[in-house]
Amino acid sequence: MSTLAHFEINNISKLYKGASIESLSDVSFTINVGQTIGILGPNGAGKTTLISILCGLIEPTKGSVTYSSEKGNTISGINLKKIIGFVPQEYAFYHELTPVQNMSYFGSLYNLSKKEIKEKTDDLLSVLGLSHVSNKKISTFSGGMKRKVNLAIGLIHSPSVLFLDEPTVGVDVQSKLSIIDFLKDIRNQGTTIIYTSHHLSEAEDFCDELLLISKGKIVANGPTKQLIEEHQSNDLQSLFIKLTVAE
C-alpha cells in the first residue's frame, strides 16, 4: 500500500434529513502528513460532523474527501480503513470485557494476527499505564482509565491518521496530562492527528494548526501561533471568543 501524503477536503456541505440549516457549508482545507490539526468551535458548530465525514462514517451532502499517496494515487476502500484510526467521544468498547479482550476483538476486525495483536496490546497498555489492569473488567475502571482504553483501541492497527473527538473530556488532570503526553509521542513518530476539544489551553499547546468553525463554516485556518498574532489576540481563548459565535 502506498504511503499517505496528504488529504484534501473539497467544498463539503452536510444537510441532515429533516434539518433546514446545513451542519457544514462549503468547507475546504488540506492536511499534510505529520500535522496536528485542532478542529475547534462552539457546541453545534459542526466539528463532530466534519470528523465523521473525514473518517468515512457518514457521507457529505455535497463535496468530497480525497486521500492521496506520495505517488499521487487515491487511497480508498479497505486500504483507507487500514490507515485511519478514530477515537470517539463516546466509549467505544465492551464494558464487561477486559482491555485485553477488547483489543483482541477490535484487532481481529483489522485482520491482525494473534501475534500482532498481543504485541500491540502489550505495548499500548504498558505505555498508557494500564498493564496492571489489563485483565480486569473495564466496567470497574475510572473515567481516565476508560479514556485510555478508548485510545488504545483506536491505535491497535497503527494508523497513519488518528481522529480524536474530545479525547480528554471528563478526566482528572493527571489522566489528561498522561494522555496528551502520549499523543505528543505518537505525533513525534509521524502520526497525523486531527483533534477536537473544548480545552482551549490544551489545544493551543498541542496543535500545530487550527481550523476554527462557527455555524458550519470555517472562520480561521492556519498555524496556531500565526492566527493568534494575526488577530491580535493574547491566546487561543481570546481568539476563539473573537471569531466564533455561540450556537
Q: In the predicted model, is pLDDT for residue 21 greater than 70?
A: yes
Q: In the predicted model, is pLDDT for residue 1 greater than 50?
A: no
Residue 133 belongs to a domain = no
Q: What is the pLDDT of residues 54-105, one digit of tens each?
A: 998 999 999 999 999 888 889 988 899 899 999 998 999 999 999 999 999 9
Residue 136 belongs to a domain = no
Residue 127 belongs to a domain = no
Overall domain count for the chain: 1
Residue 134 belongs to a domain = no
pLDDT at 220: 95
Residue 154 belongs to a domain = no
Residue 83 belongs to a domain = yes
Q: What is the pLDDT of residues 183-231, one digit of tens each?
A: 999 999 989 999 998 889 999 999 999 999 999 999 999 999 999 999 9
Q: In the predicted model, is pLDDT for residue 52 greater than 70?
A: yes
Q: Which domain holds residue 20?
A: 4-89+161-243
CATH code for the domain of 32: 3.40.50.300
3-class secondary structure per residue, 24-57: EEEEEEEEECCCEEEEECCCCCCHHHHHHHHCCC
Q: What is the pLDDT of residues 94-146, one digit of tens each?
A: 999 999 999 999 999 999 999 999 999 999 999 999 999 999 999 999 999 99
Structural element, H or E, at residue 69: strand 62-69
Whether the model pTM is above 0.75: yes
Structural element, H or E, at residue 12: strand 4-14
